């Protein structure tokens, strides 16, 4: 049995064991969470947990419940309404970066989403194809071919980071530092040292984005950040906090999840030669593979926090007013009530694009989904076209998955490959 493969090969867990594992966020759970989510779906589909951040959270794992919860107006995304819990989890410094569409409800969410939405329309994203392809080719030109190397920092992360930075208008010589600060924010824990590192990184990011917005005001360009500054100045569409926070969420969400998703796709295709062969037959095969990869091993393991605006009873479980709620996208995407043989990757699975929840559902459906799909298509398609004999440099069961104590993302800690083995 491998860490990444079928959960039905693992020993069945009781609901108590599963809840304890999900609460602990242990290394074993992070290496293979699928048996835990399977047990919770079966016997505790709305489960109260006490994760390492110390705030009781209700985790939803069944597909139908997850889809409904993602669109339920009783579950608020406005974390200012749950300010005490928010401070306990993230600390005071995070507030300055979280005044954006990700952490807001209508009508504010509707207003903020409309401002950036035109950048990510399918037509506008398609116009970026040639540039994304060029970035992909340039990155692969710099990768070693005959020796093992970690694909994540050399290819999977730089690709979406360069794309979103170009869209925003982040100068090339400033992108590496911005990515390093973002990585600290994504991987921090909840102890004193981790919180200090988080506070420093968030402070640096905020100062940088304030300065960058000021520069765009005096030296505008064609990037999205200049457009946001113009909208603020001419229309009063954004407050100062909203401007900086919107820039942050676009920078962070615009590369992190896609980078891990590309890595997950490479790993699972290399681990399954039959699926790889189907994916590489033609463009349609790769498109189908991407949608199944999004279902099978989504990089967004759990939704961002919501909180109950009133008492909610779901599956006979009371979620009390004010309680935090998370939705397990990973758990929902492997629900056997919806997907046949959900622990098998099958790129010929029918209707998967319309069904999986990798990009969410409802008002907060990922605004960047068209761009993420384009980046995955070009990254995986170009990588395998140029290096059809590429192999993993470790056995699949030896792959290391991220073990951060807050499982928002599901991705590999490293992805050792050899592009052209002798």
Q: Report cis status (omega within 30 of 0) of the bond before 25.
A: no
pLDDT at residue number 90: 61
**Domain range for 245:** 7-418
For residue 305, the domain's CATH number is 1.10.630.10
How many structural domains is the chain composed of?
A: 1
Any domain includes 131: yes
In sequence order, which ranges of 129-170 are alpha helices (DSSP H)?
A: 129-141, 151, 158-168
Any domain includes 192: yes
pLDDT at residue number 84: 66
User: What is the distance in angstroms between the CA of the first residue and the CA of the last residue of the chain?
Assistant: 28
Any domain includes 1: no
Any domain includes 178: yes
Any domain includes 243: yes
Contact 273, 162 (CB under 8 A): no
pLDDT at residue number 94: 58
Q: Could you tell me whether strands 57-60 and 324-327 are parallel, antiparallel, or unpaired per DSSP bridges?
A: parallel
SS3 content of the chain, % helix, strand, coil (to 5): 60, 10, 35
Any domain includes 256: yes
Any domain includes 2: no
pLDDT at residue number 402: 87
Any domain includes 31: yes
Task: Please report, in tens digits, the pLDDT of each residue of the chain (422 residues total).
Answer: 233 333 444 467 888 889 888 887 787 888 899 999 999 999 999 999 987 777 889 999 999 999 999 999 999 998 777 656 665 666 555 566 678 898 899 999 999 999 888 888 888 899 999 999 999 999 999 999 999 999 999 999 999 999 999 999 999 999 988 888 887 776 656 667 777 887 888 888 889 999 999 999 999 998 899 988 988 877 778 888 889 889 888 888 889 899 999 999 999 999 999 999 999 999 999 999 999 999 999 999 999 889 999 999 999 999 999 899 999 999 999 999 999 999 999 999 999 999 999 999 999 999 999 999 999 999 999 999 999 999 999 999 999 998 865 567 899 999 999 999 97
Residue 278 tokens, joined: 């189907």
pLDDT at residue number 70: 98
Distance between CA atoms of residues 145 and 387, nearest Å: 9
The SS3 of residue 342 is: coil
Contact 125, 374 (CB under 8 A): yes
CA–CA distance from 302 to each of 50, 160, 373 (Å)? 15, 21, 19
């Amino acid at each position: 049995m491998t860490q990444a493969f079928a959960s039905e090969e693992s020993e069945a867990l009781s609901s108590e064991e599963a809840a304890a594992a999900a609460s602990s966020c242990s290394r074993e759970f992070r290496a293979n969470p699928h048996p835990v989510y399977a047990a919770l779906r079966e016997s505790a589909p709305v489960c109260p947990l006490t994760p390492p951040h110390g705030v009781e959270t209700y985790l939803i794992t069944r597909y139908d419940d997850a889809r409904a919860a993602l669109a339920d107006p009783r579950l608020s995304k406005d974390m200012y309404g749950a300010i005490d819990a928010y401070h306990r989890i993230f600390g005071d410094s995070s507030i300055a970066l979280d005044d954006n569409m990700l952490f807001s409800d209508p009508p504010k969410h509707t207003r903020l989403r409309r401002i950036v939405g035109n950048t990510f329309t399918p037509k506008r994203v398609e116009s970026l194809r040639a540039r994304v392809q060029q970035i992909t080719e340039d990155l692969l030109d710099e990768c070693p071919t005959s020796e093992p190397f970690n694909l994540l920092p050399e290819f999977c992360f730089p690709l979406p980071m360069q794309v979103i930075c170009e869209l925003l208008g982040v100068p090339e010589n400033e992108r590496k530092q911005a990515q390093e600060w973002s990585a600290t924010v994504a991987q921090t824990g909840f102890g004193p040292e981790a919180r200090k590192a988080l506070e420093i990184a968030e402070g640096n990011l905020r100062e940088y984005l304030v300065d960058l917005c000021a520069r765009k005001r005096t030296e505008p360009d064609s990037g999205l950040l200049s457009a946001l500054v113009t909208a603020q100045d001419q229309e009063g569409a954004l407050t100062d906090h909203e401007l900086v926070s919107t820039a942050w969420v676009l920078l962070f969400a615009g590369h992190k999840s896609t980078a891990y998703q590309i890595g997950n796709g490479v790993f699972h295709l290399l681990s399954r030669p039959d699926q790889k062969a189907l994916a590489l037959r033609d463009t349609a095969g790769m498109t189908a593979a991407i949608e199944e990869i999004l279902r099978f091993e989504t990089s967004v393991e759990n939704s961002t926090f919501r909180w109950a605006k009133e008492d909610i009873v779901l599956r006979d479980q009371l979620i009390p007013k004010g309680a935090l709620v998370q939705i397990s996208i990973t758990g929902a995407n492997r629900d056997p009530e919806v997907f046949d043989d959900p622990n098998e990757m099958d790129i010929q699975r029918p209707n998967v694009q319309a069904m999986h929840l990798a990009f969410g559902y409802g008002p907060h459906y990922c605004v960047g989904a068209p761009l993420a799909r384009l980046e995955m298509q070009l990254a995986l398609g170009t990588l395998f076209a140029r290096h059809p004999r590429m192999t993993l440099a470790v056995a699949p069961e030896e792959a290391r998955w991220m073990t951060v104590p807050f499982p928002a993302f599901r991705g590999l800690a490293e992805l050792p490959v050899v592009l052209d083995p002798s």
